Amino acid sequence: MSATAIAYPNIALIKYWGKRDEQLSLPATGSLSLTLDIAPTRTTVTLAPEADEDVATWRGRPMLDRELARIRSFLELVRGLAGSRTPAVVDTGNEIPTGAGLASSASGFAALAAAASTAYGLELSRRDLSRLARRGSGSAARSVFGGLVEWYAGDDATSYAEPLPAQGLNLALVVAVLDPGRKAVGSREAMRRTAATSPFYGAWVQSVPSELTQMRTAITRADFTAVGELAESNALRMHATMLGAVPPVRYWTGGTVAALDLVAQLREDGIEAYATIDAGPNVKVLCRPQDAAAVADRFAAAFAGLDLLISGSGPGVRVEEAR
């Protein structure tokens, strides 16, 4: 059996930062994101009964060490569910830089969950697929669905994502790739350190539920301004908790701060734009689709040689082929 699946990254508007249970990948709080329509991951899983162990390649290049170990332990989970001991060959590829806060682990594990569960003959509901993807990388639970998505905190059975109705709210995201390099501290380690040492972490966990409530209301009302303000504030709060860790986790560079200044300037100039930042230096700008080109132009003018990606709202994971 072989199956190929495609999944898109998502960017959280209310972030997930910190686990309640590492083993089960249960988040300390809920989170809410927008699935993008750019830079998908496509993954093929082929069962290999004659092989001794799992093999994984990244665009044809063998994956090694921690990357491979993470894929193998995920496949172990899938085999556990399927009652199989057959190894698999995984080939995966992505068009955006990885490890720079562009959420490639979200699209990666959503695609792997769909391809692997199909190849091993599991017929999972979307909800169970989201629960499975969560075990690979928390944010992957959200990439199972398209558009605006909420991922619930909870226990193993109840921590899954669901799409939110978002009538009348059209969102675009301009991604300013200030630094395509791999980040110094991975999100897993950075979350762990923040939760263990930052005196601000408790306040973060306490405040997210009400931010989620406010965000849901803003989405229901299709209130773009409220969505943007809440998203920017939530991202700044997440980074504030990290800055309080020992040693501090600081993903921001001078470019990050300059980008935040530019977003504030855009607002003063009458273009409604709001920033969000993940576990890396890059800044993503939330705006209305009709303003995206103007936002990108202003970034291109301010930062020489900057890579810019413009995204709208994208679809959930899809199995393209199963043989």
Q: Which residues bind ligand PMV (CB under 6 A)?
A: 12, 15-16, 31, 103, 105-106, 137-139, 187-188, 278-279
To ligand PMV, the closest distance from the beta carbon of 173 in angstroms equals: 13
Q: Closest separation between CB of residue 85 and ligand PMV, Å?
A: 28
**Contact (Cβ atoms closer than 8 angstroms) between residue 308 and residue 107:** no
Q: Which is nearer to ligand PMV, 18 or 84 (CB)?
A: 18
Per-residue tokens: 277:
């930042």
Q: Residue 25 Cβ, how far from ligand PMV at the closest point, in Å?
A: 8
Please name the residues in contact with 112: beta carbons below 8 A apart, sequence gap of 6 or more.
Answer: 5, 43, 45, 71, 74, 90, 92, 133, 136
Cα atoms in the Cβ-side hemisphere of radius 13 Å centred on 120: 25
Distance CA 241, CA 247 (A): 12
Three-state secondary-structure class, residue 19: strand
Shortest distance in whole angstroms from residue 105 CB to ligand PMV: 4
Give the ranges where the chain is alpha helix by DSSP (H). Answer: 65-82, 104-119, 126-136, 140-143, 187-197, 201-220, 224-243, 254-268, 292-302
d(CA 306, CA 176) in angstroms, rounded, equals 7
Helix (H, G, I), strand (E, B) or coil at 318: strand
Distance of alpha carbon 229 from alpha carbon 177, whole angstroms: 22
Q: How far is the CB of 277 from ligand PMV (least distance, A)?
A: 8
**Cβ-count burial 20-41 (b if 16+ within 10 Å, e if not):** beeeebbbbbbbbbbbbbbbbb
Given the complex with ligand PMV, which of 45 and 106 has the nearer CB atom? 106
Give 182's DSSP letter: P
Nearer to ligand PMV, 40 or 47 (CB): 40
Nearer to ligand PMV, 15 or 298 (CB): 15
CB of 208 to ligand PMV, least distance (A): 10
Residue 87 or 180 having the CB closest to ligand PMV: 180
Q: What minimum distance in Å lies between the beta carbon of 99 and ligand PMV?
A: 10
Nearer to ligand PMV, 10 or 117 (CB): 10
Q: Which is nearer to ligand PMV, 12 or 47 (CB)?
A: 12
Q: Which residues have C-beta within 8 Å of that of residue 164, sequence separation ≥ 6? A: 32, 147, 148, 149, 150, 216, 219
Compare residues 48 and 203 and give the one whose CB is closer to ligand PMV: 203
Q: How far is the CB of 292 from ligand PMV (least distance, A)?
A: 21
Residue 283: closest CA among 140, 302, 110, 268: 302
